[in-house]
Amino acid sequence: MNVHDTTSDAVLTRIRSRAADRRRILFTGATIVTMDPRLGVIDRGDLLVEGDIITAVGAGHGAAGAAPPPPRGPPRPPPPPPHARADTVVVDATGTILTPGFVDTHRHAWQTQLRRIMPDVDDLGAYVATTLAGYATVYRPEDMYTGTRLAALTAIDSGITTMLDFSHNSRTREHSDAAIQALLGTGIRGVHASMGPHFGAWDRQWPGDLTRLKDQYFAGDDQLLTLRLAALATDEIAGPELAYGSGLARVARDLGVGVSVDAVFGTASSEAVLRWAGAGLLGPDVTLIHATGLTTAAWRAMGDTGTTVSLAPTSDAQIGLETAIPAVDEALSAGIRPGLSIDVEVALAGDMFTQMRALHTIQRMRAVNAVHGTDRQPSRITTHDVLDFATLQGARTNGLAAVTGSLTPGKKADLLVIGAEDLNNMPLNDPIGTVVLGTDARNICAVLINGEPRKWNGQVLDVDLPALRTEVCASRSYVLNAPAV
């Protein structure tokens, strides 16, 4: 699928002319980076999408989903392969790389109209004082909607198909509803992680309102959106009401949802981790975010309980959280393969390519520095590692490993089509290296989420950009000019 192919819009029209549950889309001739350990990388492969599911992946033109050989007996013509069926839309993906969509495990999406408003913030306190104790207090539900929608659309544009929105400005029921509606409207695979605000006046409806949210928006088992409870690691920043412990763990357990815990760093968080482990409050359904500056004992407890970890490479390094070193080595030593996250766009980049490259560079620098002047060999992560963190491990961290994160038959069709012959990517030598070190949003020809095209021919679909720009600028002006409360 060439972004300059004049038939691309016609192909999209054919895809969208059929009901979503009756579509068959066959991508042919691509280099397929499955991120499934059993399937690996397939050169000149085919991938078949039926409805919202990947149903076949294979090598060779027409291999994906190819019909079985006819039974023994008198010769007869074999049934036609999938690409020859009248109800199959064939997308010639020669010269492209197919990958799973990226999975963002932690982003405060409501802040997005304040992008890069404090690009050189140099400590957590300055961010908290300016954003959480200032701007956050004046947000209306419509501002929650605008920020979250902008974050989700931009995520799709840069290849993020799943985004966990750590929505910690739920001042009223209407604020929560607006954030959820924004995710629904964009078509992203969204995880709404709900938490009450740190500062200012609010209705104190959280966490009680989670029951209503689950019943109203998350009742189905097979839908794009899922719900999690969000909390802080300790009461140092905003008091005990928002700190994870037995009370909030009980709420999450009763609702049957996972938990995402932010601001996990330093001595106080290490002590909290050990308390949680002792009380049986850790496990695969709990994600600890950042995890910088933790003790060896805390990491051991996290590894022993199967607790998941979300790293925020640029946030840790740029803002300077605790040690300022993304804790990938500590996680791997504890047997934890982490997911990756964006965190706050008020100061950071909003794409997964930046996170992968930052982590890859920082860890390898740290590994070489640790053995410099000795005869020991550095233990370095690879481009495959960071792509795994950004896809399959991110899905596992969000509780969605069975749904997305790899191009595995039976999983949902969340995938990217990346131009491998574009100026900055040609010639294609190593596909994983190309995705991690060479690619950016301009090379993403198409994005499918749940089998639905959300970006095509290099453009995010179904977005009125002038109207969105007006909405975003109006919201920003209101937030910047309203007095903090």
Task: Please report the pLDDT score of residue 68 as a whole number.
Answer: 36
Residue 317 in any domain: the answer is yes
* H runs (alpha helix) in 60-169: 124-127, 141-157
Task: Please report the pLDDT score of residue 71 as a whole number.
Answer: 40
Residue 465 in any domain: the answer is no
Task: Please report the pLDDT score of residue 80 as a whole number.
Answer: 38
The tally of domains found in the chain comes to: 2
Task: Please report the pLDDT score of residue 60 as a whole number.
Answer: 67
Q: Do 108 and 94 lie in a common domain?
A: no
3-state secondary structure of 305: helix
Which helix (H) or strand (E) segment holds residue 345: the answer is: none
Q: Do 354 and 246 lie in a common domain?
A: yes
Closest CA to 244 of 271, 212, 217: 271
**CATH number where 207 lies:** 3.20.20.140
Residue 165 CB partners (closer than 8 Å, separation 6+): 107, 108, 109, 110, 148, 151, 152, 179, 183, 190, 191, 192, 193
Which of 363, 397, 431 finishes a domain? 397
Tell me how crowded residue 55 is: count the other CB atoms within 10 A of its CB. 17
Task: Please report the pLDDT score of residue 8 as a whole number.
Answer: 79
Q: What are phi and psi of 309, to 5 degrees?
A: -135, 135
Rounded Cα–Cα distance for residues 339 and 242 (Å): 23
Domain containing residue 294: 102-397
Q: Do 272 and 417 lie in a common domain?
A: no
Which of 397, 417, 443 finishes a domain? 397
Rounded Cα–Cα distance for residues 431 and 429 (Å): 6
Task: Please report the pLDDT score of residue 7 as a whole number.
Answer: 43
Residue 281 in any domain: the answer is yes
Please give the angle made by the CA atoms of 367, 369 and 371, to the nearest 5 degrees: 80
Q: Do 156 and 212 lie in a common domain?
A: yes
C-alpha dist (Å) from residue 130 to 124, 144, 262, 342: 10, 17, 18, 19
Residue 88 in any domain: the answer is yes
Residue 125 in any domain: the answer is yes
- At 169-182, the pLDDT tens digits run 999 999 999 999 99
Task: Please report the pLDDT score of residue 236 as a whole number.
Answer: 87
Rounded Cα–Cα distance for residues 9 and 446 (Å): 12
- At 322-360, the pLDDT tens digits run 999 999 999 999 999 999 999 999 999 999 999 999 999
Residue 478 in any domain: the answer is no
Helices 173-186, 141-157: axis angle to 10 degrees equals 30
Q: Do 173 and 202 lie in a common domain?
A: yes
Residue 471 in any domain: the answer is no
Question: Can you read off the two tokens belonging to residue 405?
Answer: 């994160």
Q: Do 212 and 275 lie in a common domain?
A: yes
Closest CA to 301 of 269, 260, 328, 257: 269
Peptide bond into 78 cis (omega under 30): no
Which of 374, 397, 420 finishes a domain? 397
Q: Do 246 and 303 lie in a common domain?
A: yes
Residue 473 in any domain: the answer is no
Q: Do 93 and 107 lie in a common domain?
A: no
**CATH number where 37 lies:** 2.30.40.10
Closest CA to 97 of 430, 450, 414: 430
CB-based burial label for 462 (10 Å; 0-12, 13-18, 19+): exposed
pLDDT < 70 regions, the chain: 1-7, 60-85
Q: Do 49 and 161 lie in a common domain?
A: no
Q: Do 81 and 118 lie in a common domain?
A: no
Say what the alpha-carbon torsion angle 420, 424, 426, 428 is, to the nearest 10 degrees.
-60
Instruction: Write the DSSP symbol of residue 113.
Output: G
Which amino acid, one-letter code, is at 407? Answer: L
Q: Do 328 and 415 lie in a common domain?
A: no
- Residue 207 · residue 176 · CB < 8 Å: no
Q: Do 352 and 218 lie in a common domain?
A: yes
